[in-house]
Amino acid sequence: MLEGRKKPSGFVLDFVGIFDKLEQALSFDSGDISGIVKDIEVLKQRFTEMMEKGKKEYLSLIAQKERDKAVEAVLEHFRNEDKRQDFYEFFEELSAIYEILSPDAYLRKYIVDYDTLARMFKIVKEAYDSGITVDREFTRKTAKLVQENTACQQIKSTLDIYEINEDTIKKLEEDKVTDTEKVFNLLRSIGIKVETGIGISPYLHSIGQKAELISLLYKQRQIDTQEALERIKILIDEINKAKQEQAQKNLPTELFTVYWILNDEKIDDAEDKARSLTYAFEAYPYWNSSEEHERKLKQELLKVFTKSKLSVKQSVELANRIIAVLKSA
């Protein structure tokens, strides 16, 4: 931020070069006009300094690289959280100044580099801050620039999204992007699959949790790229298997979720146990909104589990997990 200055907010400089007309047209005091011009010049100087820093510290990461290798370089560099936070703060200030200065002709020589920095910011946010709608974090003019500027050849503006289905792994193997990018693309794709599908498939909640664990381990470098990919492939198989089984077993959503969790925990006769709870869900249909119905349903779950020779502790943990997953839908 500018020392001793409050960041101008909402001032749109659409009148560059016509300050001499403003004084007469709007009865501005000449001292006010001079102050505005002085402030703009300070912002231009600051923008120039920041773009020089951006070129040295960030654009150098992708210099002379093909677009896919550029994405890989960015994703690898910013696996360090401190580096990410520094970059976020840098770009947020840079974009705030850009919003004020645009469309000043002074910016023309910086447009390609600024657009590239904006694309880098978007990719890093998508990869490391799941759940955030990155476009909403852009200032209006930056969002428009990234959307409309097709001249940038250094790096793409967004991570790819795979449709998660029976063909995903085959398409993955045919994709020419780097394995590092595949990991982030897939984790983001699974996240979207869970978010959009959990309402009708609550079991996706547990798959989403597994994906989050893989993401955490990978970002912290506790697993390498190949192990992350293999774990993600297992999750994709799990999603496809669940979809097929749900159709084959013809179980209502709640009962299939119970079955899926029990089966995931390697509990014997998971399907039979799930079907035996049909009456419980019929008897307490308001379990999601009534504390009493939720308590009664949990009691029925515990009865089934303890009769199956599961320990009280395991039975309670299973019942709580099932209720939590169902309520997440």
Per-residue pLDDT reduced to its tens digit, 172-189: 888 889 999 999 999 999
126 and 169 assigned to the same domain: no
**If you average pLDDT over residues 146-157, what whole number do you get?**
70
121 and 45 assigned to the same domain: yes
State which of 212, 247, 282 marks the end of a domain.
247
State which of 247, 275, 298 marks the end of a domain.
247
101 and 70 assigned to the same domain: yes
Residue 79 lies in a domain: yes
In angstroms, the CA 310 to CA 306 distance is: 5
Total number of domains constituting the chain: 3
In which domain, by residue range, is 258 found? 251-329
Residue 146 has pLDDT above 80, yes or no: no
Residue 7 lies in a domain: no
Instruction: Give the CB-side neighbour count of residue 26, counting CA atoms within 13 A.
Output: 12
DSSP code, position 97: H
Whether omega for the bond prior to residue 8 falls within 30 degrees of 0, making it cis, is no
269 and 329 assigned to the same domain: yes
Residue 10 lies in a domain: no
215 and 119 assigned to the same domain: no
105 and 169 assigned to the same domain: no
288 and 186 assigned to the same domain: no
pLDDT at 34: 53
**If you average pLDDT over residues 64-85, what whole number do you get?**
92
Residue 47 lies in a domain: yes
Tokens for 314? 């395991």
Residue 153 lies in a domain: no
Q: Return mean pLDDT, the chain.
A: 84
259 and 329 assigned to the same domain: yes
Residue 203 has pLDDT above 80, yes or no: yes
In angstroms, the CA 329 to CA 326 distance is: 6
pLDDT at 151: 56
Contact criterion met (CB below 8 Å) for 123 and 185: no
Residue 288 lies in a domain: yes
Nearest residue to 89 (alpha-carbon basis) of 134, 127, 50: 50
Give the end-to-end CA distance of the chain in Å, rounded to a whole number. Answer: 43
Residue 67 lies in a domain: yes
Out of 45-54, 55-64, 70-79, 320-329, least confident range: 320-329
Contact criterion met (CB below 8 Å) for 204 and 325: no
pLDDT at 42: 87
Per-residue pLDDT reduced to its tens digit, 268-296: 999 999 999 999 999 999 999 999 999 99
Residue 8 lies in a domain: no
State which of 247, 275, 292 marks the end of a domain.
247
In angstroms, the CA 299 to CA 318 distance is: 12
168's CB contacts (< 8 A; 6+ apart) are 162, 236
182 and 258 assigned to the same domain: no
Per-residue pLDDT reduced to its tens digit, 100-127: 888 889 999 999 999 999 999 999 999 9
128 and 218 assigned to the same domain: no
243 and 258 assigned to the same domain: no
122 and 140 assigned to the same domain: yes
In angstroms, the CA 53 to CA 14 distance is: 27
Residue 75 has pLDDT above 50, yes or no: yes
196: left (phi over 0), alpha (psi -120 to 50) or beta: alpha
In angstroms, the CA 233 to CA 168 distance is: 9
